[in-house]
Amino acid sequence: MTRPIEPAARTAAQVLVDQLRLQGVTRIFCVPGESYLPVLDALLGSGIAVTVCRNEGGASMMAEAWGKQTGRPGICFVTRGPGATNGSGGVHIAQQDSSPMILFVGQVERENRGRDAFQEVDYRAFFGGMAKWVAEVNEPERMGEMVAKAFAVAMAGRQGPVVLALPHDVLPSPSLSPDVPFVAAVETAPGEAAMNSLADLLAQSERPMLILGGGRWSDAAGGQVARFAQKFGIPVCTSFRRAHLFDATHPNYAGDLGLGANPKLVARVKQSDLVIALGARLNELTSQGYTLFDIPVPQMKLVHVYPGAEEIGRVYHPHLAIHATPSAFAAALEALEPRLAPIDARPAHRDYRDWSEKPLPQPGAVNLSEIMCWLRDHLPADAIVSNGAGNYSAWIHRFFRFRRFNTQMATVCGFMGYGLPAAVAMKALYPQRKVLALAGDGDFLMTGQEFATAIQYRLPVIVLVFDNAILGTIRMHQEREYPGRVSATGLVNPDFAAMARSFGGFGATIEKTADFAAAFLAAEESGLPALLHVKFDAEGITPSTTLTAITAKARNP
C-alpha cells in the first residue's frame, strides 16, 4: 500500500520523496550509494518504482530518455564523486537535446565541505557549464521548495538538466519543509501581431520550407502542423534526429536534415525564400556544419519560433522572431488561411521517396538498407526505435520511416551507448509497445551492461548490434584525412549473441541478410530481452560509399 503524505515529523529525505510524488513521478533510475540511504529508504512504500542500473551513465541516459519522451523531468539518483562523474553523460545529453531531467547526487556532510572529503566534488563547478541550474540543499526546511524549483527550471523555456546535491547529514534531518503543489510547464503562445506578420510573409513566399525540431511538442501539435502544411502546400523537413515530428509517409514530408542528408533536400532549403524553423535550434548538424544559412543574417527570410527567448538570435538573426512553444504555436497555426493558391509540395516528397525508397547495393553478405526496409514494413507505426552514435545510424536516418510522434529516441549530440538505456526506459514506460535499440559494436559496449537491467525488470527490448569490427565513423574520418593510416579504430569483439544468452536473454547471430527476418521474428516470439548480432562488411561504410572509395578519393582528390 502506498504511504500517505504526512507533513508532520518527516525527514528531509521523506520530504524529497513526497515532493517527487506530488510532481507526478512514477519511476526513478539510480545506482545506489551510501551517501543517500535515507532517500532509498523513503522510496520504500512510496509508490514510486525504482530501476537499479549497472552504471550511472546508463541510469542518467534512462532518465534523460524519460524526460525527452514525457516532457516532464526524468529522475536519476547517483552517489557522490564516482556516481556523479559517471552520471554526467545523461546531463550532457539533456543539455544538448533540451530534455527535462533532474540528477540528484549525494554530497559530503556540510561540516566537511571544502576539505576534499571522501568523494567530494564541487558540483557547481563540475556541472555548471552543462546544467540549467546546480544547487545544494543545505537547509532541511527548504527541501520541498528546492525540489519544486528543480522541476520548474528543468521544464521552463528550452528544457534541460538540473542537478541537486544532497549533503549526507541533511537527508536524515527532521524537516518542517512545506510541500509544493504540482508544477506545470509554462506554455508561451505567439502574439497576434507575430501571427499577422507570419501570414504576410507566407503570402509573399514562393518557396517556403518548414523545419521542425526540438522539444515541447505534443501529438496534437504534430497534427496541427500537418494540417497547416497541407493547406499551404509547404514542404516539411525535420532537424537532426527529430524525424518523428512529422509522418514520413505524409505527402508534404521532404526528409530529415541530419548527417548524410539528401543533397536535393539541402539544395531545396538553401534555395527557399522563407524558412520557418519551428522549435529547432538549427544546430551544427541540422545546419550541415553551419553552411545551410548565412551567419549571422540568413540569405532567406527566417522565422524562428522557439520556446526559449535567449536562444533566438544565438547564431542566426531572424527576420521574424516568435517566442512560443511549438505546441502553442501549432495551435495558433490553425487560424491561418492561405491568401494564395497552395504551393505544390509533391516534388519535395518525391525527392524524399527517391532517396529512401529502395535498398542500395552493399558489399558483403549483409545489406543494412534491406534490413531497414524490412523493419519499416514489419514494425507497427508506434514502435519506438532508439540508437546511439555511429555510421550504422545513417541507414536508420535514410531508410526507416518514423510515422508517429516520439517514436525516434536518439541523441542530437551523438552520444555513443544511448540506444540500450533509452530502450530500457521506453519499455518501462510503455510495456505494450515494441521497443528496439540499434547500436554499433563499439556503441553497444559503452552501456551494454544495461542488458542486465532489461533482464532484471523483464523488459523485452530487442537490440540490434551492427558489428563491422571497427569504430566505423572515426575510421571513415581517418581515411578521409589520413588515408591508409589506421590508428585506434579496430575492434576485437565478443560473441554478442552468447553474451545476451548468458544474461538470460535471447541471442542470435546473423551473417546473411536473408536470415534477418526469421531471427527477428524468433526474438519477438521469445518474449525475452533479445539481441541480434548482425555481422557486416566494414567496406560498406555508409549507404552510398565504401572505405576503399574514401581512401582513393583522399589520395587523389
Ligand X SMILES: Cc1ncc(C[n+]2csc(CCOP(=O)(O)OP(=O)(O)O)c2C)c(N)n1
* Chain residues in the site for ligand X (CB under 6 A): 389-392, 414-417, 440-443, 446, 466, 468, 470-474
Lookup: cell for 447: 552501456
CB of 390 to ligand X, least distance (A): 2
CB atoms within 10 A of CB 86: 18
CB nearer to ligand X: pick between 93 and 379: 93
CB of 135 to ligand X, least distance (A): 27
**DSSP symbol at 384:** E
CB nearer to ligand X: pick between 146 and 410: 410
SS3 readout for 286-349: CCCCCCCCCCCCCCCEEEEEECCHHHCCCCCCCCEEEECCHHHHHHHHCCCCCCCCCCCCHHHH
> Where do runs of H (alpha helix) occur along 156-232?
192-204, 219-232
CB of 476 to ligand X, least distance (A): 7
CB of 412 to ligand X, least distance (A): 12
CB nearer to ligand X: pick between 101 and 438: 438
CB nearer to ligand X: pick between 56 and 443: 443
d(CA 8, CA 180): 15
CB nearer to ligand X: pick between 327 and 468: 468
CB of 291 to ligand X, least distance (A): 21
CB of 398 to ligand X, least distance (A): 14
Chain position whose Cβ is nearest to ligand X: 440
CB nearer to ligand X: pick between 114 and 289: 289
Considering only CA atoms, which of 336, 405, 349 is closest in space to residue 70?
405
Q: CA of 318: how far to CAs of 123, 207, 214, 216, 309, in Å?
A: 36, 17, 17, 21, 12
CB nearer to ligand X: pick between 133 and 415: 415
CB of 421 to ligand X, least distance (A): 12
Lookup: cell for 271: 534555395
d(CA 268, CA 236): 11
| DSSP-based three-state secondary structure for 464 | strand
Cβ neighbors of 539 (< 8 A, separation 6 or more) are 363, 364, 546, 547, 548
